[in-house]
Amino acid sequence: MPALIASSISSEHFTFYGFLSSKESQARKELELLKDSEYTLVFYEAPHRMAKTLNLMLEEFGDRYISISREISKLHESVFVGKINEALNVTSEFKGEFV
């Protein structure tokens, strides 16, 4: 919830999905099913999979606005808000726990 609120993306209705499958083909199918959702989508992701997941999201969702929250409620908390393509430019900085 703190990541959703910090994102400035609508929190009126949302779907918490959790982790996508670690298998690319299955993750792609999951995103395909979710791409037309009218609700804000919330995912968890590991730092070592961020670039791969963002690329899959870019392919399935298009270059939509996203928010990436890191280390929520910790000393080094940060929130990125922008397009998926912009997030891919900073993936090397991704360390910690992400929503």
pLDDT tier, 89 (very low <50, low <70, confident <90, very high otherwise): confident
The pLDDT tens digits of the residues spanning 18-38 come to: 999 999 999 999 999 999 999
Which of 65-69, 75-79, 83-87, 91-95 has the least mean pLDDT?
Answer: 91-95
Q: Look at residue 38 in the predicted model and tell me its pLDDT.
A: 93
- Compute the distance between CA of residue 17 and CA of residue 33 in angstroms, rounded to an integer: 12
- Compute the distance between CA of residue 48 and CA of residue 43 in angstroms, rounded to an integer: 15
Rounded to 10 degrees, the C-alpha dihedral 58/60/61/63 comes to 30
Tokens for 24, please give them. 């690319």
The pLDDT tens digits of the residues spanning 44-73 come to: 988 888 889 999 999 999 999 999 988 788
